Amino acid sequence: MTTAYRRLIATCQYFLGVLAILVTRVTFGQTVDLPADYSCSLCHRKQGELWNENTPLTDESNMAGDIHWQKGLRCHDCHGGAPTLDKFKNHRDDPEFRSVRLRTSIPGFCGHCHSSIETMRRFAPSARTDQEAEYWTSGHGRRLRASSRDDESRVDKAVATCVDCHGGHGILAVNNVKAPVYPTNVAQTCARCHANQTIMANRTFNDQPLGHDQFDQWRRGVHGRALLEKGDLSAATCNDCHGNHGAMPPGVDSVANACGTCHGKIANLFAETRMKHKFQEARLPGCATCHGTHETIQPSDELLGMEGTSICARCHNPQNPQYGATVAGEAAARAMRDRLEQLKDQIAQSEALVRAAERLGMEIRGPRFDLRQATDALTNARTLVHSFKPGPLEATLGEGLKVTDQVQAAARAAMREHTSRRVWLAASLVPILMVVALLLIYIRTLTPPSAVEPGEPGSAGH
């Protein structure tokens, strides 16, 4: 290559660089400060002087939004190699160059920085550096490693690696609402593979088929609706139960722990029950047995007790008890449900009385505030149901009922006060009408006016 030819290329690259800056600025409002002699753009962009059909292209339109790009990292920071033309070597001859051509090398490629405490400290000091290690323990990591068995041609290409979830170029920060790993998008991201019947066909975990309908189930469940319809970011999505980089189906014994991540108090109560041990003996997954797995049902009081849609009745059926369910359990379920209904009924009555008093303009703010304690007691009682004993429930419900009694008494007192006002106001009619009667009597005693006063009939003054 002659010097003149090199100069020509350098000049072209300069103008291409300027053009790229302008396009990116206009498109994203971001500054791209690629040096004019940046070696990567020579081959890996369509306008690059040395690009040919066999050279992988980089979609630059995504780059400005890329979190790495925004942090100042450029191609060579991830891919290695020389960033300038002067020092450029063919990739095959460059020991500094890091390839991602092999799927098994992708976790290590990302882990080059993300597993390095020193590197991550510079850019995101609080970020974890064990994702790569976690990944290799995950279902994905294990399957990837097992499928390749040192022969890349046999690798299972459907197994997710970092780029399948986070993207390749144009990786968005995890707190970016458009990121595929943002809470509202996680399930859709997982569903790209896990809801694909073709990909998931014949795949198993612990000899159990993995299935492909988890996403649809989750979407119909209480968590999916909370997240997707209400935008509740605290609602559980795939990674909250299965883990992120170490994603793995929780075992039968650890379901309650997975649920307990958010529902801690309930998990603690459940852990101390006999039912937990019964479930373990029967190899039943803790919470999921009653509440469902991916399609977690909306919790309601109707699940408790022995009537209608109650879940307790499934096992505590006196005619056909399951898994050693007892009659005492049936009685406990009935008792707990009855007491819950009692408090609910009292809260509803209190609410109606308070609202009626409010509408009448009576002072009822104190009892209105106190009524929250009864609602709190109801919430606590619903949690305590998971102890499956009426005893702990009784104390909490008793507190709630005490509050509703007080609120109702206060509301009724306010209504009585209102009635008493009306009675006294009505009583005021008596003196008023007495004055009217006295006036009329007095008018009768007045001397009758002369019949006609000529000339002055219409000079009354009002």
Partner 1 sequence: MKLLSTLRAFFDERLGLEAVRALARKKRVPNHGCSHFYYLGGMALFLFLVQIVTGILLSLYYKPSPDQAFESVRAIMTEVEFGWLIRSAHSWSANLLIGVLFLHLLTTYMMRAYRRPREMTWISGVLLLGLFMAFGFSGYLLPWNELAFFATRVGTAIVGVIPFIGDHLLLLARGGEDVTGDTLARFYSLHIVVLPLVTFGILGLHLFLVQKHGMSVPVLTAADGEHRTPSIPFVPHFLLRDMVGWYLALALLAALSALFPWELGTKADPFASAPAGIKPEWYFLFMFQTLKILPARLGPFEGEVCGVLFFGLCGLVVLLVPFLDRGGKSRMVLNVLAALAVAFFIFMTAWSWFSGPGQGVRQIMLGTLLVAVVLFLLIPFARAHSAARSAVYVCLAISVIAFLSASGWELMR
Which residue, 125 or 461, has its beta carbon nearer to partner 1? 461
Using the rule CB under 8 A, is 445 a contact of partner 1? no
Give the dihedral of Cα atoms 411, 417, 420, 421; nearest 10 deg: -120
Residue 86: which of 42, 45, 51, 124 has the closest Cα? 42
Least distance to partner 1, CB of residue 353, Å: 15
Instruction: Work out which of 1, 4, 177, 443 binds partner 1, going by CB under 8 A.
Output: 443
CA distances from 267 to 206, 248, 278, 384 (A): 25, 20, 16, 11
360 binds partner 1 (CB under 8 A): yes
For residue 190, the number of C-alpha atoms closer than 13 Å in the C-beta half-sphere is 23
| Residue 343 near residue 377, CB atoms below 8 Å | yes
Cβ 416 to partner 1 shortest distance, Å: 14
Which residues between 20 and 49 bind partner 1 (CB under 8 A)?
Answer: none
Cβ closest to partner 1, residue 1 vs residue 426: 426
> Which of 49, 38, 46 minimizes the C-alpha distance to 1?
49
308 or 457: whose CB is closer to partner 1?
457
CB of 225 to partner 1, least distance (A): 23
Shortest reach from residue 436's CB to partner 1, in Å: 5
Tokens 């160059």 belong to: 97
| Shortest distance, position 372 Cβ to partner 1, whole Å | 18
Does position 441 bind partner 1 by CB under 8 A?
no
Query: Which is closer to partner 1, CB of 127 or CB of 415?
Result: 415
Phi, psi of 356 (to 5 degrees): -65, -45
Residue 118's contacts (CB-CB under 8 Å, 6 or more residues apart) are none
Q: Binding segment for partner 1 among 129-137, 162-170, 302-310, 429-437 (CB under 8 A)?
A: 429-437
Residue from 347, 362, 371, 385 binding partner 1 (CB under 8 A):
362
Considering the complex, what minimum distance in angstroms separates the CB of residue 147 from partner 1? 56
Does residue 415 bind partner 1 (CB under 8 A)? no
CA distances 381 to 28, 274, 384, Å, are 53, 19, 5
The conformation of residue 94, written as its DSSP 8-state character, comes to: -
Among the listed residues 170, 102, 110, 172, the one whose alpha carbon sits nearest the alpha carbon of residue 135: 110
In the bound state with partner 1, the residue whose beta carbon lies nearer, of 370 and 376, is 370
Does the protein bind partner 1 through residue 425 (CB under 8 A)?
A: yes
Instruction: Note the residues at the interface with partner 1 (CB under 8 A).
Output: 358-363, 418, 421-423, 425-426, 428-429, 432-433, 435-436, 439-440, 442-443, 446, 449, 451-462
